[in-house]
Amino acid sequence: MSFARRWFWAWLFGLPVLALTIWGIADNQRLFLVTALNGLTLAALYFLVASGFTLVFGLLRNVNLAHGSLYLLGAYVGWVAGEYLGSWFLAVAAGFLFAALMGLLLQIGVFRFMHGQDLRQTMATIALSIIAADVALWVWGGEIYQFDPPRWIIGATALPIVGKFPTYRLVLLAMAIVIGLALWWFLARTRVGMMIRAGVDDRAMLSASGIDVQMVFAITFAIGAGLAGFAGVVGGTALSIAPGEDTRYLLASLVVVIVGGMGSVAGAALGAVLVGVAEQFGLAYAPTYGIVFSFVIMALVLAFRPQGILGRRA
């Protein structure tokens, strides 16, 4: 893209956003900042869910439509663990481990046998998500579950201008940043991460250079699924867990990775911020049309940059 065109697009989308921002701040400073912060914390949650999704997609070319189910199952198992062990941190660990184990089982037990048949894998994940949702409904019923995090997390923190803001949301934001950095470090600096990146670029070549590709696939799937389970507990604490959350977070991950670019973790972060902030602003300024905002972003990205903002043309 040439310099002039890039500036043209930047101004075309930047100016209205800038104008709306100035209007929002001038109109109601507090509402604007609270909405922005809410949007960022929602983005943090979306990033946690979508990063696993995009990681798995990038390497395995598997659109794991059971990702939302892993989120929900992780949340439920985390809740049970928290109930019996009495520790929220153990609940988080349990959610992560259970979802990672499920992911590992899926990869080894199902997807390994359909390698290269993306469409069939995707349909298998749809079938599994139906089954998982129904089993979860069977076991845990239709009630809404709440987590019991430590006292110091659930209070409120005083911030300038905004006033009192739930501490937990700030913790969530911090967690997402830490996880994002850890993921970056893992992918960029470790040996396994290097293998995963090589696999994203060229699977056949990675296999030819003597690396057990199935092992790399299994590790990636476990991490991606574990992140979904982790997000399940963490997000379930911020909001709540109930049937139907699986499709909600599946939609969020889909939109986030379509906007950000499939297979790119940085793209997932960018997409999550765009979608999360847009959704919260939509909710605050134009309720009942909140979902339309994230959809419009998706449509615009697809219309002008089909591979996603940070996606590469494969």
Partner 1 sequence: MSAAHWRKAMNFTDAGRSWSGGRAIAPPRQTTRTAAGSATTSRGWLQSWRQIGARHVAVLLAVLVYPWIVPPFFTYQIGGQALVLGLIALSLTFLAGYGGMLSLAQMTVAGIAGYIVAILGASGTPEISLGWPWWLVVVLAIAGGTLAATLIGWLSVRTEGIYTIMITLAVGMAFFYLAQQNYAIFNGFQGFQKVVPPVVLGVDWRQPMPFYYLALFWALAGYLFVKYLIRAPFGIALQGVRDNARRMSALGFSPVAHRVAAYAVAGFIASIGGVLLVWYNGLITPGSVGTSWMINILIVAVLGGMRHPVGPFIGAVVFVLLQNFAIDLIDRERFNLVIGLVFLVIVLFSPDGLLGWWDKLREWASRRMAQSRTNPVRGNGWRSIGVAQVRPAGRR
Which residues in the 58-97 window bind partner 1 by CB under 8 A?
61, 63, 65
With CB under 8 A as the contact rule, the residue among 42, 269, 298, 310 that binds partner 1 is 298
For helices 265-285 and 290-304, the axis angle rounded to 10 degrees is 140
255 binds partner 1 (CB under 8 A): yes
Applying CB under 8 A, what is the total number of residues that bind partner 1? Answer: 47
Q: Which stretch in 30-38, 87-95, 143-151, 246-254 sits in contact with partner 1 by CB under 8 A?
A: 246-254
Q: Cα-flanking dihedrals φ and ψ of residue 61, to 5°?
A: 55, 30
Q: Is 229 left (phi over 0), alpha (psi -120 to 50) or beta?
A: alpha
- Three-state SS string over 221-255 comes to HHHHHHHHHHHHHHHHHHCCECCCHHHHHHHHHHH
With CB under 8 A as the contact rule, the residue among 127, 144, 159, 215 that binds partner 1 is 127
In the chain, what's the furthest Cα-to-Cα distance? 62
Comparing CB distances to partner 1, the nearer of 62 and 220 is 62
Handedness of CA 131, 136, 141, 144 (dihedral sign): negative
CA dist 150 and 154 (Å) reads: 7
CB atoms within 10 A of CB 74: 34
Comparing CB distances to partner 1, the nearer of 240 and 307 is 307
207 binds partner 1 (CB under 8 A): no
Handedness of CA 25, 178, 275, 88 (dihedral sign): negative
With CB under 8 A as the contact rule, the residue among 90, 93, 118, 238 that binds partner 1 is 118
122 binds partner 1 (CB under 8 A): yes
178 binds partner 1 (CB under 8 A): no
Q: Which stretch in 4-12, 14-22, 117-125, 217-225 sits in contact with partner 1 by CB under 8 A?
A: 117-125
2 binds partner 1 (CB under 8 A): no
CA dist 162 and 110 (Å) reads: 49
Comparing CB distances to partner 1, the nearer of 78 and 263 is 263
Residue 162 in contact with residue 30, Cβ under 8 Å? yes
Q: Which stretch in 42-50, 98-106, 174-182, 294-302 sits in contact with partner 1 by CB under 8 A?
A: 294-302
295 binds partner 1 (CB under 8 A): yes
Q: Which stretch in 4-12, 108-116, 187-195, 223-231 sits in contact with partner 1 by CB under 8 A?
A: 108-116
Burial class (CB in 10 A: 0-12, 13-18, 19+), 7: exposed
CA dist 67 and 224 (Å) reads: 9
266 binds partner 1 (CB under 8 A): no
With CB under 8 A as the contact rule, the residue among 6, 30, 112, 120 that binds partner 1 is 120
Residues that bind partner 1 (CB under 8 A): 61, 63, 65, 110, 114, 116-120, 122-124, 126-128, 130-131, 133-135, 137-138, 247, 250-251, 254-255, 257-258, 262, 287-292, 294-295, 298-299, 302-303, 306-307, 313-314
